[in-house]
Structure 1
Amino acid sequence: MSDEIFSLEAALNRGKSRSSGGLTVVRVLIVDDNATVRQILGDAVRVIAGADVCGEAIDSEETFDLISRAKPDLIVMRADLPGMSGLQITRSIMVRNPVPIVVMIDAQSSDPEIAFESLRSGALALIPRPVSGSETSDVIGHMVACVRTAMTRKGAQFRIPDTPPLLASFSPPRLIALIADAGATGSLMRMLDDLPPLSVPVLLSVDIDNAFFPAFVSWLDASIRQEVVAAAPSGEGVLAPDRIYVLSSEMIATVTPGATLSISAPPPGQSSAGIGDVSAADLLLFTMAQSLGSAAMAVLFGHIGNAGVSGLLAIKRIGGCTLAEFPALCPFAQAPVLASQIHASEICGSPADLAICLRDIADCHDKTGRVS
């Protein structure tokens, strides 16, 4: 891989900086054909410190016009808009002038596939189309905070290592973790499309709202060659090879020395995103490092935020294999840059590169642990 330096400055510093009370103001565009939903969303945005509604649209024509005139920092959009759908709009925006997008769909929708395809096409998150404002405000507040961080980061740079380490130098993995947070679904799918079934259990940590989790697991299972199942919601279990276990955003998962998975609900008063200041993805990787040592392996996809970065470093320090996606398909990705800054990633590359590395590392050892 080359020694070329890539910069995220252009993607992270769109437009002029705006501030309010010490916070960078995030301008939110709301797109929905229902006036009541737009009102709920507008009220939810306005109670978030440092967020403001810069416009409302009911269809694709108004959306593209307001993107040009109002220059939003975040778009909250119905996925199944009549006419030109939110999926089509998402694809067009990501090609023309990328803007962070949160897609919405009715929680009881019988066909949420259009929303999952929007995630594959570059949307950051999927949320239920609101019927009240309280929970919606919490979710959008989290996305506003992520977008603000991206807007205010300096021109961070990422240097690809001159010579990647020899794949055969790593221990045979007993467990592989894939960390794909907001904005990384497209990268994840591209890697899985190129990946043959592995003979090692795989854990997948994704940020999918619990309302859509079963449908997402079914959609993913139908989309790739490897069997995909939801991780058990409680208790402890042995992980089978040739299978991808998906962790929902409501699960706190840890790994035991026997390479089994323990899942519990968040403690009372704690967010499902993790425990205290530790994200659920980092907690998973920390326990993998502690329990499996050099037999732990993790892949960090390019997503917005820092979930998984510290845990990746823990696995690298213990001698495990760490990989990061770069350059990231998500234009707003911060995780790979942060991983580079703390020297957490051993190997980096595109989703296709990562698929090759995963296959080679998992398959270059026989069952006794010797290089084949």
Structure 2
Amino acid sequence: MQDKRKIRTLIVDDSAMVRKILSIGLGNDPDIEVIGTAADANMAMQYLARNKPDVITLDLEMPNMGGLTFLRSIMKTDPVPTVVISSQTQRSAQATVDALAAGAVDVIAKPRMELGGGLNDLMTSIVQRVKVASGAHVRRTVVRQPPMPQSQTPSPAVRAARADIPTWMIALGSSTGGVQALTRVLEGLPADCPPVVIVQHMPEGFTASFAKRLNQQFPLRVKEAEDGDLLENGLVLLAPGGPKHMTIVKEMGRHKVRLIDGPEVCFSRPSVDVLFHSVAQVAGGKVSSAILTGMGKDGADGQLTIRKSGGRTVAQDEASCVVFGMPCAAYEIGAPETLVPLENVSSWLMNSCPRASARSGLESYRV
């Protein structure tokens, strides 16, 4: 019987100590083979000209060509699943978001010698993420025309739509590959769309930068959710990474955010399941939900509850996912009505819910 092929991994880091730690930690796993190391991006480029690994671990902060420039370059020409391992992620949340937007499968903190006994736990996590990355479907990034700069003052029609009390909401859940997927979905939503609530699995401190990035790209208002935020048309609320779950409650006839304590659900906090269950309870079926790319099964049970409550449900199809785990888990239990390519998720969502129109009142679009 032929042995299972190992995950061929290239380590790119300017620190000799970190290269050694990662080489030993990854090499000790029977499923992983470290096929090379590079001290900078230029050396990595030379290596890639001769050999193509299954996964790259990449430092962001390096001399000469920076890790982010290197990542963007390879994702345009010959993409390789990449796990960014950098101390910069701890100092700069923006660097993390930029790396994820550029196509990194995952971003985690660089191991430090002073971690002591915690180093073993961190290496276990790195090994697991490299394995997940090896199965990710990465594609060449396409240079797309950036959205036209948006005026800071909304038009009268948009202001009027935002002032209305929402009668519908949109709920989204995503994980691995979700930064790019959510960007694509929000890009396709109009400025007067129903309120959008999102759980994207991301470490504490990084969701605010992600929300800021999205807010600068689209006419939608995007912010990291805070306890007590009211759901409004044209407003996107991103669950903060960290120790609390995001839920939606109804008080005095209005839907609002409640951040609550609670154990991890599906190894996640905040959890898509927790958000979706709360939405199903208060929306009265007036909700459209989507599960996007991600590892695991978070959101599947919650989306099934939304569907049973009368809400609309969709999931991203396998061909367009970086990791088909979450949508697949939902599909297997009958949670989504259908699977659609990422490029069609926005239109599916808008076609599934009542849509505010400044000229013609409330029009109902169904799919």
TM-score relative to the length of structure 1: 0.71
Alpha-carbon distance between aligned partners in 2 of 1:47 and 1:239, rounded to the nearest angstrom: 49
* Cα displacement (A) at 1:145: 5.3
Q: 1:74·1:147 contact (CA, 8 Å) conserved in 2?
A: yes
* Cα displacement (A) at 1:32: 0.9
Please tell me the residue identity of whatever aligns with 1:186.
Answer: Q
Q: 1:44·1:136 contact (CA, 8 Å) conserved in 2?
A: no
Change in Cα spacing, 1:331 to 1:222, as seen in structure 2 (3 Å) is same
* Cα displacement (A) at 1:327: 5.6
Q: Which of 1 and 2 has higher RCO (CA within 8 Å, sep 6+)?
A: 1
* Cα displacement (A) at 1:50: 4.6
Alpha-carbon distance between aligned partners in 1 of 2:3 and 2:62, rounded to the nearest angstrom: 31
Change in Cα spacing, 1:115 to 1:274, as seen in structure 2 (3 Å) is closer
TM-score relative to the length of structure 2: 0.72
* Cα displacement (A) at 1:91: 3.8
Q: 1:199·1:362 contact (CA, 8 Å) conserved in 2?
A: no
Q: 1:75·1:101 contact (CA, 8 Å) conserved in 2?
A: yes
Aligned sequence identity (%): 26
Gaps of 5+ in 2: 138-165
Which residue does the alignment assign to 2:276? 285
Deviations 1:20-68 (A, max 9, x none): xxxx854443211111232343455356675453432223344356557
SS in 2 for 1:203: strand
Change in Cα spacing, 1:255 to 1:141, as seen in structure 2 (3 Å) is farther
Alpha-carbon distance between aligned partners in 1 of 2:108 and 2:167, rounded to the nearest angstrom: 35
* Pair member with larger Rg: 2
Change in Cα spacing, 1:369 to 1:310, as seen in structure 2 (3 Å) is farther
Deviations 1:275-328 (A, max 9, x none): 7xxx81122212322332412321122234333233222222322111222365
Tell me the C-alpha RMSD between the 2 structures: 3.7
- Residue 240 (1) aligns with residue 236 (2): no
| Pairs within 5 Å for 1:127-142 | 127-131=108-112, 132=115, 133-134=119-120, 136-142=122-128
Which residue does the alignment assign to 1:163? none
Alpha-carbon distance between aligned partners in 2 of 1:127 and 1:271, rounded to the nearest angstrom: 21
- Residue 60 (1) aligns with residue 44 (2): no
Question: Which of the numbers 331, 336, 342 marks the counterpart of 1:340?
Answer: 331
Deviations 1:166-219 (A, max 9, x none): xxxxxx963321212111221211222222224422112112221433333322
Alpha-carbon distance between aligned partners in 1 of 2:99 and 2:319, rounded to the nearest angstrom: 17
Q: 1:104·1:128 contact (CA, 8 Å) conserved in 2?
A: yes
Q: 2:83·2:133 contact (CA, 8 Å) conserved in 1?
A: no
| Pairs within 5 Å for 1:4-23 | 19=4
Alpha-carbon distance between aligned partners in 2 of 1:149 and 1:352, rounded to the nearest angstrom: 22
| Pairs within 5 Å for 1:22-41 | 26-41=7-22
Which residue does the alignment assign to 2:246? 253
Please tell me the residue identity of whatever aligns with 2:97.
Answer: F
- Residue 215 (1) aligns with residue 221 (2): no
Alpha-carbon distance between aligned partners in 2 of 1:340 and 1:116, rounded to the nearest angstrom: 29
Alpha-carbon distance between aligned partners in 1 of 2:284 and 2:124, rounded to the nearest angstrom: 37
Gaps of 5+ in 1: 1-15, 152-171
Which residue does the alignment assign to 1:188? 182
